[in-house]
Chain A
Amino acid sequence: MTAAADVLSPRSRNLQGLLFSLPLIVLFLAFVVYPLYFEVTQALDRYTYEVLFNDPIYVQTIVNTLVYVGIAVNLKLFLALLLSGVLDDDSRSTRFLSAIFLLPWAIPVLPGILSVRWMMSSQWGILNLISEDLGLGTHHWLASRWTAISALIIFHIWKYLPFWTVIILAARRGIPRQLYEAGAIDGANPFQTFRYISFPLLAGIYLICSLLSMVFTMGDFTNVWLMTGGAPGDSTHVLATLAYRYTFRVGKLDWGVGVFATALPVTLLFIFILIKKIR
């Protein structure tokens, strides 16, 4: 704390603080509060929901989003929890592999998805070459709903597993060594060490990561749009891509807003839990 800030009265300190954060506040009001206000007022129209709930594509989209978020996020974080244990090691080789392992996170989404899409192409993709050489025949990977969604989940894990592994690894590094030493003296096996030392101390950060990743993934547009674009036959949309389709392809802005509005209560709830937990 600076000396200057100390001598100020609480009131002028508030004023000073507000002045310094004024740009943040202006951006927040103009580009977060106002859009949200617009979204909510637009979404109050009952007719929109009658249309949405009677649209089979909308219902399908909700299922897709739940499957995508539920499986991708939880599987990814569980793998991150396990993998962070494997990478929690200072040897030169592990550090080198950790660096390689971070590459997908550093590579932009677009080239990654182009690679995977080409890989899964039913005519000239390498995946069908492998599958055929293994005697499993060829498949139209992206041409049916559930294999396309699986491809999405797999790409999601490939791309974002490194990031969350690093987060959980950092939390792991913060666990005092003495606890493990005490465990070793008591004769704990690796599983017991994990169950009674690592996991309880990682549970808090694991929960925060889950919630955060769920909120982020619920709004995912880029990955889904580039991977399937909703195809085949609008069966693989998630919230964001469906809203885009309604707004810019069908030309119904209120339907697009309505799609997000139906997910807003859950999202806001998660966000408030997160803000409470993080602070």
Chain B
Amino acid sequence: MTRGRLGVNVMRAAVLAAVTAWTLFPIYYMVSLAVTPWDDLFRPVYVVQRPTLDNFKFVLLQESPFVKYFWRWLANSLLVSGAVMVAVLAVAALGSYALGRIRFGLGRYISGMTLFTYIIPASFLSIPFFKIMGDYDLLDTYWALIFAMTTFAAPSPSGSCGTTPRRSRTRSTSRPPSTGRARSRSSSACTSP
């Protein structure tokens, strides 16, 4: 019994060590590239010889044509993500209230619709998107980005994955049936491939 448990623990430790190394290695490399001086970049080493923060200065002060508009780009990102956040909050607050509290007959279809939007890969719609953004006269504007992102971000906080009561499948009895809000929290995280 004890020997078996020791074996299991050693194996666990080995697995955890391997997983940690696997996880951290690309991150370590990322960080070490960031502090590698320009001249040393093309000579591979395990540990950076002369770490420097020049690369950060280079970007922050926009010292090269490649990063000439760094602050502008950062502002674009902030602007678009801020606008999407506000839009998603507004759309999803209304939608989740409808789905979670009003419990209307057509709610089934609305939640199916949000689930569909959530699951379908955005890239499948990307080429028509380019065309229709032209139709809506939104090409080369922030609005095109904001509308597209809001469309795909709003369904999940609206509680698409489970505001309608459903049969518990693998869930234990440990959790009481909850309302939309608690459920949608677990599902709203499912945003990665």
Contact = CB atoms under 8 A, between A and B. Distances in A.
Interface of A: 1-2, 5, 10, 13-14, 16-25, 27-28, 30-32, 34-36, 38-39, 42, 83, 86, 94, 97, 100-101, 103-105, 107, 111-112, 114-116, 118-119, 123-126, 128-129, 156, 158-160, 162-163, 166-167, 170-171, 174-176, 190, 201-202, 204-205, 212-213, 215-221, 223, 239-240, 243-244, 247, 253, 256-257, 260, 263-264, 267, 271, 274-275, 278-279
A10 B130 contact: no
B127 A253 contact: yes
Given A271-B119, A278-B161, 15 more contacts: A24-B94, A24-B110, A27-B91, A28-B114, A86-B12, A86-B16, A86-B19, A97-B19, A115-B30, A158-B23, A174-B172, A240-B126, A257-B127, A274-B115, A279-B162
Nearest to B193: A216
A230 to B, nearest CB: 14
Contacts of B20: 97, 100-101
Given A103-B23, A219-B121, A240-B123, A275 B112 contact: yes
Interface stretch (B41-49, B50-58, B66-74): B41-49
Interface string B82-99: 000000001110110111
Given A10-B105, A275-B115, A104 B123 contact: no
A20 B95 contact: yes
Contact of B121 (A20, A125, A129, A220): A220
B47 to A, nearest CB: 11
A24 to B, nearest CB: 4
A100 B23 contact: yes
B1 to A, nearest CB: 12
Given A97-B16, A111-B30, A271-B120, A176 B174 contact: yes
A105 B192 contact: yes
25 contacts: A20-B102, A23-B91, A31-B148, A32-B120, A34-B132, A38-B131, A38-B132, A39-B127, A86-B16, A100-B23, A101-B20, A103-B27, A107-B30, A124-B41, A124-B42, A126-B29, A158-B26, A174-B174, A174-B175, A202-B170, A204-B169, A216-B192, A239-B123, A240-B126, A278-B162
